[in-house]
Amino acid sequence: MTNTDLKRNLGRLLALRAELLGDLTKMEDDSLKDHAKTISIPTDKEELGSDNAEQELTLTLLGSGENILDQVEAAIHRVEDGDYGRCEECGEEIPKSRLDAIPYAADCVRCASQRETALLPFPLGRVQ
């Protein structure tokens, strides 16, 4: 990886981190406001169910955003440590095209695919 590519990807990672932090903060604030409304205003069962579903979706999105933020933070540390662009699993260089698409990728496509396949509840092609 060239020094120019490394600097460009670090810039992208820092911008992504700032964007995620802003989004997560806004979602948390909105969720708290919505929760306060739900508590303070009596509502019927349908509205309450809808409010609960919205709050559950917000919490799911927050968790997903926090997961990506953790991955971005880890990638920034890899840049600082000089390990960015190397697969954490096999040590091979992660292709530029993969890092262009997912700048916080920690694994090459082969290793990421193997890990994801291992997490499946049943082998591909076999539906129970």
pLDDT tens across the length of the chain (128 residues) = 899 999 999 999 999 999 888 876 666 666 655 555 555 554 555 555 555 555 565 555 545 668 899 999 999 999 999 999 999 999 999 999 999 999 999 999 999 999 988 887 766 555 55
Which of 38, 31, 32 is CA-nearest to residue 58? 31
| Spacing of C-alpha 38 from chain mean position | 29
Q: Which two tokens stand for residue 89?
A: 């699993």
* Residue spans per domain, the chain: 3-119
| pLDDT number for residue 120 | 77
Handedness of CA 51, 56, 61, 66 (dihedral sign): positive
| pLDDT number for residue 121 | 73
| pLDDT number for residue 98 | 96
| pLDDT number for residue 71 | 93
Helix (H, G, I), strand (E, B) or coil at 79: helix
Quick check: 107 and 88 in contact, CB under 8 A? yes
Task: Measure the CA–CA gap between 109 and 82, rounded to whole angstroms.
Answer: 20
- Tokens 């964007």 identify what position? 19
CATH superfamily of 3-119: DksA, coiled-coil domain (1.20.120.910)
Does pTM surpass 0.75?
A: no
**13: exposed, middle or buried (Cβ count in 10 Å: 0-12, 13-18, 19+):** buried
